[in-house]
Amino acid sequence: MNQQQELIHQLSRQNRLLKQTLGVSAAGLAILLLAAAKPTENHGKFSEIDVERINIVTPEGKNEMVIANHLRVPEPIVDGKPGKRSGPQRPGMIFYNALGDENGGFIFDGKTDEKGRAISGMHLSMDRFGGDQQLSLGHYESGGTMESGLNIYDRGLKKDYADLYDAYDKAPAGPEKDALLQKWKDAGGQQTNRLFVGKTRGKSSAIILADAKGKPRIMMLVTPEGKPTLNFLDDNGKVTQSLPQTDAGTAAVAK
């Protein structure tokens, strides 16, 4: 009889422990489920941080802005397709629209050439939807000269000219390749500068207005010596009229 009582006591104790274990597990599971259902926001505060790249993303994971060193700048994305960034990689910030396509950025660089002269620049650009830059603000130094100013450009949509350039790039030298290059230009692949406002490499302050081919037609200049000039140019870049009245044939073009 005592053995039976001891067995019943052990079973009762094990049953209580099992119930307690199940109760704790259920409570823990409920806490985990509530924590998972509730959106969490992590807010950190740092005095200093070293990082090679920062991606600002949407809740879905699309880039809205990327800040990166020159080795981690992402390739451009237009119409959802990645491309290749031309020229040397530079550090900066890349901006994206709601579709995830690149729509502008800020890049910079600075070093010296073999003669100790600055090769430097800072460039802020704003792209058109589905295309390349339409406006830029920049400062550039090379070969002992400087240029600083605002530029406004003409350029087509990449969907209209990207395939043409790929075909041109792969074509062997000859008339067909030349024809593909012209088609690429006609489709808006070649960037043309329509407006410049700033200081030229000739050290003149200037406003330069160009036609759709990028050829300057009106140039308003003030030289470093303080001489103001307003020049009107033809399709070949020849000054046809200059104010104040001077010999139009010898009027200087500062840029």
In this prediction, residue 209 has a pLDDT band, given cuts at 50, 70 and 90, of very high
Supply the pLDDT for residue 248: 46
Mean pLDDT of all residues in 167-195 = 90
Pairwise CA distance, residues 252 & 255, whole Å? 9
Q: What is the pLDDT of residue 23?
A: 61
Angle at 132 between CA 126 and CA 133, to 5 degrees: 35
pLDDT at 89 over 70: yes
Which segments within the chain are labelled E, that is strand? Answer: 53-57, 63-68, 77-78, 81-82, 92-96, 102-112, 118-127, 133-142, 145-154, 192-199, 205-210, 216-222, 228-233, 239-243
The residues pairing with 149 across neighbouring beta strands, listed in sequence order, are 138, 198
| Phi, psi at 43, each rounded to 5° | -125, 115
Confidence tier at 204 by pLDDT (50, 70, 90): very high
Report the range of poorest mean pLDDT among 47-51, 77-81, 102-106, 144-148.
Answer: 77-81
Q: How far apart are CA 108 and CA 193, in angstroms?
A: 21
Lowest mean pLDDT among 38-47, 76-85, 111-120, 187-196: 38-47
Q: What is the pLDDT of residue 38?
A: 58
What local confidence, expressed as pLDDT, does residue 249 receive?
Answer: 45
Dihedral of alpha carbons 145, 148, 152, 157, sign:
positive
Q: Which residue has the tokens 């790039």?
A: 169
pLDDT band at 44 (very low <50, low <70, confident <90, very high): confident
Give the containing element (helix H, strand E) for 69.
none
What is the pLDDT averaged over residues 116-137? 93
Structure tokens at 73: 């700048």
Asked if 63 and 55 count as a contact pair (C-beta separation under 8 A), the reply is: yes
How far is Cα 102 from Cα 28, in angstroms, rounded to an integer? Answer: 45
Label residue 87 exposed, middle or buried (CB < 10 Å: 0-12, 13-18, 19+).
exposed
Distance CA 53, CA 25 (A): 42
Average pLDDT, the chain: 85
Q: Which two tokens stand for residue 175?
A: 């008339």
Q: What percent of the chain has pLDDT over 90?
A: 55
pLDDT at 137 exceeding the cut of 80: yes
pLDDT of residue 145: 94
Q: Return the closest-CA partner of residue 202 out of 253, 152, 151.
A: 253
Find the mean pLDDT for residues 142-152: 95
pLDDT for the residue 106: 96
Is the bond preceding 88 in cis, omega lying within 30 degrees of 0? no
The least confident of 23-32, 52-61, 201-210 is 23-32
pLDDT for 239: 95
Q: What is the DSSP letter of 164?
A: H
